[in-house]
Structure 1
Amino acid sequence: MAKWGEGDPRWIVEERADATNVNNWHWTERDATGWSSDKLKSLLLGLRLENDEGSCEITEVSKVEGEASINNRKGKLIFFYEWNLKASWTGTSKSGIKYRGSVEIPNLSDENDMEDLDISISLNKDEPETSLVQLMKSKGADKIREVLGSYVGLLRSEFTQGMILPTANGMLQLQSSSQSKAKTDKTRISSSSRTAAPPVNPGVKIPTCKFSLTETFITSPEDLYRVFVNQEMTQAFTHAPATVDGEKGGRFQLLGGNVLGEFTELVQNEKLVMKWRYNNWPCEHYATVTLSFADRRNETELRMDCRGVPNDDEERTRDGWRRFYFEAIKQTFGFGARLF
């Protein structure tokens, strides 16, 4: 049998720093079906877009059929997901006329790229023709692909924790694959899996950008400030469990762990500065978010300055702050006002 120190991953006794066998070295499977169903609904529901003709929004996700799992075989992660989705959308013209339609996505799976995804968008029967259908078929389809791509990224990041345990060298090489279950039995150990991967350098530089948003809320700076630092109020507008430690150096985690960070500066009722990130960003990379609260008599003007966002995630971050922070806060606490 293998001797201690040989570190040959072909043997059952895999070398670890604590001199025990790697628990997940052979075959383990983690079911992600329930989590995926909830995540797909939350990502699609409320998706909104508009143009000069009016606006469209996904108002119901009526069918989420399928399954998802992650398998670990000898240090190799294999992701499997297959979904059939159906949703309803509502369009509102500039004149106030409402239209209703449906969205069908029959082939969201690990075997298809996002650009190959079939997205069928149509008007309901007996609905009059409207140009808003084209808005849904163009920009709407692009937005749907974007949020479904976010689901895949979150599946790969949230459910891999604990499935690969460290070796004596500090890290076992992590590999991932989009193969289906039918292909997993054919998986073979490549020669590269016999050596430990070098630690990832968390200081690696990536292209980033900055942007600003301004929003007006019908409330006082005191009340609005409290929404961001009070755990119960944060859970109310995110409609999900959250942890919030509203003091300097205090950490927060929102939206099922999809958003996390730390407060770095607090000036009560005037300014909040935080380190902020999506959990699928590169390891230890944070954006810096500054919230400035300005008293406008019966209203509060909130300016959000964000820098350090990965270039390819700017649109998702902008949209996320508008939808999951600003619009959600207004709807939950009745702070609604015009959008800038």
Structure 2
Amino acid sequence: MAKWGEGDPRWIVEERPDGTNVNNWHWVEKNATNWSKDRLKELLTGVVVEDDKFFCELKEVTSIEGEASANNRKAKLIFFYEFVIKGEWSGKLKDGDKKIKGKFEIPNLSEENDADEIDFNVTVSKDSDEAYKLKEFLRKTGLGVIRQKMAEYLNDLKNEYSKGVILPTKGAQQQQQTQAQTNSATNKAREEMNKLVIDSKASKPLGVKIHTKKIVGKEEFKCRAEDLYRALTDVKLVQAFSASPAEMEVEKGGRFSLLHGNITGEFVELIPNQKLVQRWRVKSWPDAHYSTVTFEFDEKDDCTVLNYTQTGVPDSEYEKTKEGWIINYWNRMKQVLGFGSSIF
């Protein structure tokens, strides 16, 4: 038996003021789900997004699905959180009286995404020119506001649930105070960086130049151009051939998310059965970097030829991306949707 005060520090009970979870060696978990849901509702309800032409307000958070927890293992704090947030909004053009209503969704609030990677999807209850303009304003301008709110939630979560998870060891009070001051400074710096990243009025891009390449390809499918176009724009068909969840707003400026959120982007141009242009990125790419993908459909007597180009692919991702189109798109579409055999 070791002498008093000696031996494996994990078992030196007297070194801890309360004699429990010595040196924070054991796993400690605190459930933060209910607190998180309340805080998220508080942060989002009543948020106003406006300029001299448009006024929008997030009226209500209707559902928050997911969970959050704070964990300590070997004196290291680890936060787990994953939420899908849905709600309702309303707004109007400032020079009009018609009130527009719709729904919003934040689909990917999780520890896997930084604040500036969080998506904000917006839909309207009834289509009209006014509704489209208002929806696009809320989606684009509101994205920065939502990301700021989510960054605020993450900061509050870490501050609130750091208390009592890592317990003090002997003589560690001064160290904890110093660490708290460091964390506070770090959080402030992180908030400022988030503001820089999402500032829509920034006149110059931040970061280093990304060297890119261009992918040019051609693929033949045993189907009509109409069927192939639908396979790339119909969410049910996309989910079928990708065997994973997908979200799509098939309209100019509409957002899409495929393969569990690993591929995201928006529709730039849609000419049914002829041409499709997308802003397109993989989650692992440098932050806020998008490529441009153009699909052109050429229907023949016995097949449809798809000519596709992708510009802006990071050099380091070129081979992986080129191979990904073949494996995750074309081969899967031919196999699952039957586009590898003639249906004429």
User: Which structure has the greater CA radius of gyration?
Assistant: 2
TM-score (ref. length: structure 1):
0.49
